[in-house]
Amino acid sequence: MTLLPIDANIGVYQRMKNLAWLADSRSRVKSLPDGVQDDIGYALYAAQVGERSVKAKPLHGLGGQVMEISAYDAGGTCRAVYTVSVGESIYMVHAFQNKSKAGIAMPKPEMDLIRQRLRQLRSEVKDAENRAP
């Protein structure tokens, strides 16, 4: 058995982006079924290391840097939305179980909440950049 130095994989960690959870997004992900949590967790990890999970795709109407993760469970479709376009971190914006009556369409209240959180995030990041020396 060959042992690697303890810092053998340090390069992976140095280029890994931070993950920030907005509002109640973390508790919402934790409330989803275990398999769905695994899918979302892997997709977020992939984003942190600069990759894109096959479960993640750009969220239509919000630009190419706002991503939607779709995961399926016996209870239905679950969705999580994150962005990689604001600052140097990955921001988890929102997660929910899709209860849409219109097929695969994103429910309007959920989309409105996502837009509101993205506006607030962009405003806070811009304010922080303006305060920096």
Can you list the domains of the chain with their CATH numbers? 14-131 (3.30.2310.20)
CA angle 47, 48, 54 (to 5 degrees): 20
Classify the C-alpha dihedral 114-20-89-125 as positive or negative.
positive
Look up residue 110 and give its two tokens. Answer: 């959920």
pLDDT of 48-83, one tens digit each? Answer: 999 999 999 999 888 778 999 999 988 889 999 999
- What confidence score (pLDDT) does residue 61 get? 86
